[in-house]
């Protein structure tokens, strides 16, 4: 884990300063079916290619942000704040 992530607040930093928060998901609410709940809890898209995922700048500004990362090359295409994405849940 020696690649570099550009925190939207602090700029480029060592990946070790961050905590990974996983692929973005859509939460299954209280009305969800059993299938939907299981899908949300236990399945991920796990794409080979560009993935939108959560990162926390744990050792820096301590903010959560989103990154679009190519899971094949570890290149991070862009990083942005949660309020800048299309609304999900």
Decide: is 6 part of the binding site for other proteins (CB under 8 A): no
Half-sphere exposure of 1 (CA within 13 A, CB side): 9
What residues contact 74, with CB distance under 8 A and at least 6 apart? 3
Q: According to the binding rule CB under 8 A, does residue 86 interact with other proteins?
A: no
Q: Does 41 bind other proteins (CB under 8 A)?
A: yes
Q: How many angstroms separate the CA atoms of 58 and 47, rounded? A: 25
Q: What are the residues binding other proteins (CB under 8 A)?
A: 1-4, 9-11, 13-14, 16-17, 19, 21, 27-32, 34, 37, 40-41, 54, 56-64, 74, 82-83, 89
């Amino acid at each position: 884990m020696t690649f570099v992530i550009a925190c939207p607040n602090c700029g480029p930093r060592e990946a070790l300063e961050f905590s990974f928060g996983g692929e973005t998901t859509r939460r299954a609410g209280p009305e969800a079916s059993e299938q939907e709940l299981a899908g949300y809890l236990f399945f991920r898209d796990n794409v080979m290619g560009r993935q939108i995922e959560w990162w926390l700048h744990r050792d820096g500004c301590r903010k959560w942000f989103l990154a679009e990362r190519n899971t094949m090359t570890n290149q991070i295409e862009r990083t942005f704040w949660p309020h800048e994405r299309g609304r999900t849940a």
